[in-house]
Each structure stands twice: as C-alpha cells, then as structure tokens.
Amino acid sequence: MLRDEAENLTRKAGREKHFILDTWYCGIINEKIRDATRKGQYEVKIRFDARSHVANHQQRFIQLYEEQGYSVHFRPNYVHITPSQYDMIIQWAPKDEENA
C-alpha cells in the first residue's frame, strides 16, 4: 500500500468515526457563516478550546471547508507556552468578485 492510499484510508476512517461530532460542529460553523453573510461580512472567526474536537481535527475541518470554496486557517491563541485556544478563521469572496 502506498503512503497516499494509507492517508486516504485513515482520513476516510476518521470521518466515519467522528461523523456525528463533525456534523454537529459544522452546523455551528455554518450558522456563524450565515450570520456573517447576512451582515455583509466575508470572514468569520470562531474560537475553540485547544481540547475541542475542532482543534484536535484541524486538518479535517480545513479540508471540509476548502472543498466548499472557503479559505480556512487556524491561529493559536497563546495565553501560556502551549495554546489554550485556537481561532478558526474562515474567509470567502463576495459573490460579485467571483463572477468578475
């Protein structure tokens, strides 16, 4: 088995294992995106505890949202030496700029 195949299987198993938690957190994130969009914003910042599901599975959430056309990154919020919180920053382009 090649490395890429192993990574794909691991990713798939991880998604299936955490499907309910992923879905629950995506619902929260999507609601924040909808609220920001209604306000005319093109970015949302959501703070998660470092021990939260989203912070522990950052790459999966980045991939989920980047597949939908969002720009996503996590920024550690250093209060101590190790980060106690992470800011998930999601950005999207205005509809007018996408068609230009």
The CA distance from 69 to 97, in Å, is: 13
What local confidence, expressed as pLDDT, does residue 78 receive?
74
pTM, entire model: 0.74
The residue among 77, 74, 69, 68 whose CA lies nearest residue 88 is 74
What local confidence, expressed as pLDDT, does residue 77 receive?
81
Render pLDDT for 53-66 as a digit per residue (tens, 0 to 9). 999 999 999 999 99
Q: Indicate whether 7 pLDDT > 70.
A: no
